[in-house]
Every structure is written in C-alpha cells, then in structure tokens.
Amino acid sequence: MTLSDTLEVPVEVMARQVGEETVILHLESGTYYGLDPVGARIWQLIVEGKSLGEICGVMLEEYEVEQAQIEKDVVELAAELESKKLVRQAAPDCHTTD
C-alpha cells in the first residue's frame, strides 16, 4: 500500500460515529471494530475518497505530528483495515470520453 492509493468501503461494511469514535460493523462476519478519534478522522477521509497521501496532508494540518510519523500511521491503519476487509483499494476511474 502506498500514499497514492485510494480506498473504498465495501457495501458489506457499515460505520457509525459514536461520540468522537467510529464503530465499524462487517456485516458478513458480524464483527465490530472501533476507531479512536484519530482513526475515526482517517476513516472519515477514506469515506470522502481522499488518497492516503491526501489524508496525511489533512492530518498534518489538523494535528501536531511529524510527516514521517503520520505517513507511517496512516499506511499501517489502512493496511490493517484492508486485512480485516473493512476497506479495499478503489478501482481507478475509467471515464471515457466520446
């Protein structure tokens, strides 16, 4: 997974904001996951369709963190979410012009 990747949430995954945290349910497995406020913000940016690099940029503006650290954390969280089938890499846009 790289910073240029964009992720999407599969239809079998639901998420709800609960206070400052996000609760995620994988409908097929029936498993719940929780994200702390920072993870919840990253989730929100994934849902908005931002690339991992764009997410890092937003996080650098909003939080007091070093770039290398946020890049590592975002990629690690994205990989963990992908391993649990909560996100997948988005297909590249295939727009054709006539």
What is the pLDDT at residue 1? 86
Alpha helices in 1-98 (DSSP H): 37-47, 52-62, 67-83
Contact 56, 3 (CB under 8 A): yes
What is the pLDDT at residue 44? 95
7-86: CATH number: 1.10.10.1150
User: Which of 54, 41, 52 has its CA nearest to residue 6?
Assistant: 52
Query: What residues contact 67, with CB distance under 8 A and at least 6 apart?
Result: 56, 60
The residue ranges of every structural domain in the chain are 7-86
Contact 20, 39 (CB under 8 A): no
Q: What is the pLDDT of residues 26-63, one digit of tens each?
A: 999 999 999 999 999 999 999 999 999 999 999 999 99
pTM (two decimals): 0.88
Query: What residues contact 96, with CB distance under 8 A and at least 6 apart?
Result: none
What is the pLDDT at residue 98? 44
